[in-house]
Chain A
């Protein structure tokens, strides 16, 4: 392993530690006595004491912190207040749905943005370029919770082509994917365009053209390999945006993923479940970022400084 990757790994581990500590401290952010808040008014002192003991809140802070790490290491994320089930089990049921939604959105975003971005770069300064750039600006500005309901109104109510919400068939995946992928596609279009314009100006492109290669061949075979490199980095960063967007998108479309699970947990003040949802989403993001760095260092040997 090279120095670049070691540094990235170190950062990922520090971030992981930071996130776990933050999530641990969340319980202590609750105003007043967390146990009284959890049990609500009218709880008997004995109940409060029992609850405090079961959560380990009667121990010194540092001991609690140590226990928290120990439990994490053994995969014990606590039990849900609402259902009484193990949090880990609940997470395992919702996690694949979120992964499916985010990955399909990422795929859709790439499939739409790369051709459009390259096209805009090739026709740099033309009407086509202006049209694509404007549409992408619109895509960046439209929030998920506006686009989602508008899509439902248009494609599920006015023209009933697709299901309004829920999960099951692949039809159910379409509207949430469009909702989540739009902002990503819009950002990627701008990135691909800027990067390709830069690349198409390079001397090697002019040489290839002078050799008699067709513009298309130079664009897609030569320039694209280099031009899409920065996009890989952005993809990793944007994955966080997708995960955050999934929280809202899942709520709109009743998609039984981790985002919706978290919002439901917040509504019912199911604190252990909220903590674990935040942890799961953050860890996924940290992991995907590290994966991006790994892929990037494989693609571009120059970063292995």
Chain B
């Protein structure tokens, strides 16, 4: 028995909200204060890596279409790679600062996967709206960690990155499979059954 898709969205929204809050907190207090306790540097990269691992069950159990399966697979892999790259950087195992580009690449790929696999237009249903919104937020939001990779002390880029992640989590919390958005539901979406 599989849980409804929106329940899975809410579970991941919870993890992503924590991730965003950690990023915003780090941006506000600055890296010097944040890293006074060494373990704090590992917090959000570990969470990102863990979310990637937990995305694999979604990939293999939600196989109602090929494109959904591939989208979930790309999220799982990108989150694991970006989390692993950040963990490698904070542990000192990776030296090149180009590894910082793993996060913007992850956001860009994740956003593209959202947009490609959502087959309905914006106002088809709430779920469709949320998918478009998340896709574009991630795609444009990729500019923040991209900027932070080169301007490492910029509060604007770091806080922007954190806020984009928080915004994506909030959007995911509003996901309902077949429900109206702004009072509108496409007649082709059928009856709002959940």
**A, B assembled together:** no
